[in-house]
Chain A
Amino acid sequence: MRSQTLTFRVVALTTIALVLAVLIFAAIQN
């Protein structure tokens, strides 16, 4: 896989994972 594509995918996955973490945190707290 091209290195640029790989980085872009990892950035996208990180963003999704962290948005989920934020939402789960707010859901647990409320």
Chain B
Amino acid sequence: MATSSADATRRASFLLLLRRIGLFSMYVVLASTPLVLALIGPHPPGRGFWLDVSFALGLVGLAMLGLQFLSVARINRVDAPYGIDAVMRYHRQIAFVATAFIALHPLVLVLAESSYWDLVNPLKSPKRVQWGQAALLMLVFLVVVSVLRLRWKLNYEIWRVTHGILALLITSFALVHVRSVGVYVQRGTWKPAVFTAFSLVFLSLLAWVRVLKPLARMRRPFVVDQVRPEPGGVVTLRLRATRGRGLRFRAGQFSWITLDSVFVPNEHPFSIASSAARPEEVEFTIKELGDFTRQLGGVIEGSRAYLDGPFGNFGVGWESAGQLLLVAGGIGVTPCMSILRTMADTSDPRPVTLIYGSNDWETIVFRDELEELRRRFDLKVIHVLARGHEGWDGDVGFINLDILRRGLPDDLSGVQCYVCGPPPMMAAVEHALFEAGVPPRQVHSELFTFV
């Protein structure tokens, strides 16, 4: 059994690698499309190496801005190879590269050809240049605000709406700039039309995320069936499908929740904590961390709720693993609970160990239920407390290599490890698992906060 599941894991990792390379290549091809379009068909002769580098930087930068809409469109088929949390992180990191390309475009231009200095002053520059200058200014503003929004404690909803509007304005201004300058998108050829068509595809992604997907969600409404306080400032929301078959998901996935209306910007991602065998009744257990989560305790039973999901790769391969090791820190236990509850519901015979780090005995979320689950199937729970108490003879401190070894079988080939919790804990646990000899492809993790 261990060998066949190890083979299945190897095959799955190879296929995953191919899909990841495919998605990466698609990004590079789409970002370079304006350059290919510039070169095919009628095009002006070269204007000097560095001037053309400058034009190319601007065109690629613009395509990357368009692709930013794709990376937040939450299209499962697109995001799956990396996981939506990695795609969101990519969206943030590649934004710096796109901004650098766009900022380098005028810089290289004036360095390569001194006559372009006359166009630098936005008060005196022609309109076709002003569009680009305004786009660049807004882009820098957007990036700075996005980077500092947590430090400045900006309201998430206001930031999100502003971010969307600015992104739309920046892309539109940059498009007008490229079309009115017209170096490689010459008027009188087919190129402006192709350029506009490409732009419309990317801009329509925004309409897809903000209008079409919410409308589709309205056909699958849920009602808040129960609001249940849990230990340690945590609350569980149980949502029941009022129409349709509910939310079909794999244990370990997450979903975006919107309360009351599908069109409010108040939308947040949370791990699903309930059993995948019960799609009509979906539970989220949420710790009060930010503005939205603080409001959740006050949600009234009977309110309407909408779900956009499921997303995420966290639980990938758990169904075919020979043995499971789940490692959770604090509220990161929720996707693990989903796996455990699903196993209990489906009478799964495989052995599982949950190593669960909490602050103290009183704040262990699902403590009683874990006891009950232990009686229903082959589950071993190792609690690790940051602060022990008198009479506590279990583990105290952080989850370390010694504790992890107790959860690992002698033969590591069939074990799959799932780690979820605060980033420093995940980094330490992953490192320790590698040290224990678990191959990296058998260690799965999901960063818990990525918005």
Contacts and interface: CB of A to CB of B under 8 A. Distances in A.
Contacts of A28: 39
Contact of A8 (B50, B93, B430, B446): B93
Interface in B79-133: 82-83, 85-86, 89-90, 93-94, 97, 101
Contacts of A13: 24
Contacts of A6: 82, 86
A3 B28 contact: no
A27 B93 CA distance: 28
Taking chain A's interface residues, is the majority helix, strand, or loop, or is none over half, making it mixed? helix
Contacts of B31: 14, 18, 21
B103 to A, nearest CB: 14
Given A10-B90, A11-B90, A25 B85 contact: no
A11 B427 contact: no
Contacts, number: 83
B82 A10 contact: yes
A1 B45 CA distance: 46
Contacts of B440: 1
B17 to A, nearest CB: 11
A2 B24 CA distance: 18
Contacts of A10: 20, 24, 82, 86, 90
Interface in A1-30: 1-4, 6-8, 10-11, 13-15, 17-18, 21-23, 25-30
Contacts of A22: 35, 53, 56-57, 60, 101
Contacts of A15: 97
A4 B88 CA distance: 11
B60 A3 contact: no
B86 A3 contact: yes
A18 B20 CA distance: 17
B319 interface: no
A25 B56 contact: yes
Contact of A29 (B46, B85, B86): B46
A19 B440 CA distance: 31
A26 B94 contact: no
A18 B93 contact: no
Interface in B20-36: 20, 24, 27-28, 31-32, 35
A26 B50 contact: yes
Nearest to B63: A18
Interface string B431-451: 000000000100001110000
Which 5 interchain pairs have the tightest Cβ spacing?
A: A29-B46, A30-B46, A26-B52, A22-B56, A21-B32
24 contacts: A3-B83, A3-B447, A7-B90, A8-B93, A10-B82, A11-B94, A11-B97, A14-B24, A14-B27, A14-B94, A15-B97, A17-B28, A18-B64, A18-B97, A21-B35, A22-B57, A25-B35, A25-B38, A25-B52, A25-B53, A26-B56, A29-B46, A29-B47, A30-B46
Given A4-B447, A6-B82, 18 more contacts: A2-B430, A3-B445, A7-B86, A7-B90, A10-B24, A10-B82, A14-B24, A17-B28, A18-B28, A18-B31, A18-B64, A18-B97, A18-B101, A25-B52, A25-B53, A26-B46, A28-B39, A30-B52
